[in-house]
Structure 1
Amino acid sequence: MKTILAGGLAALVLVAGILPAAAQTVEFTVINNSSYDLHYFYTTPSSENSWGEDLLGDTGVLSAGHEATATIGDGSDQCLYDFKFVMDNGAELIEPSIDICTLSSYTIND
């Protein structure tokens, strides 16, 4: 009986150790190759129905022709994310199902 219980606890500890490691923080470069300043950049796992916080945060604006590092650290283990960009002219660009697990950069074009 003790052997079975010990084996079960060892398996539980192993699974518990794996689960937090599955959550990820992903960094990639956003390149604003458009002729408009980017004012807001929202992301969400593709399986969700609401946008997360603005990734530009306090920096506020990614000017046309510039690039910056974006960090997604929401604790999700998902690879497919939807992106929403809001430009200074009010235009919104929504890009669905971006694989952030393999993403090193993302370019916004006109």
Structure 2
Amino acid sequence: MLSTRLASALALTVLAIPAHAQDASYEIVNNSGLALMEFYTSVADEGSFGEDLLAAQVLASGETATVTIPDGTASCDRDLRILFEDGSEMYDRVNVCDTASYTLSPS
């Protein structure tokens, strides 16, 4: 009887442990005609972008880079903020769980 209760308690404990979000690898394809200087993401509608995911890297037009989105699987809908070499910036919203890459095209 005691072992049945213990087994039941352990099973409930295991079921109660939440799944942890994992970082998401995301590919950026720059076909914009401009160098991409900075790339930021945030959870959709959060309004606060984190660190530049390119760090000190510049992504020239025609190049591809892979960035890591921290806790990317916790919230699939992400806002993107992209800064170009000419000072212009672009915003977009993507689902990083449905697509593994984002392609920038000439505007």
Question: In the alignment, residue 108 of structure 1 is paired with which amino acid?
Answer: L
Identity of aligned residues (%): 38
Structure 2: how far apart are the matches of 1:54 and 1:24?
Answer: 19
How many residues align? The count is 105
Q: Which has the higher helix share?
A: 1
- Shift in Å at residue 42 of structure 1? 0.3
**Aligned mate of 1:36, from 34, 37, 48:** 34
Structure-1 residue corresponding to 2:25: 27
RMSD of Structure 2 on Structure 1 (CA): 2.1
Structure 2 unaligned spans of 5+? none
Question: In the alignment, residue 24 of structure 1 is paired with which amino acid?
Answer: Q
Structure-2 residue corresponding to 1:58: 56
Matches within 5 A, 1:85-104: 85-96=82-93, 98-104=94-100
TM-score of the superposed pair, with normalisation by structure 1: 0.81
SS in 2 for 1:13: helix
Structure 2: how far apart are the matches of 1:86 and 1:94?
Answer: 9
43-52 or 4-13, larger mean C-alpha shift: 4-13
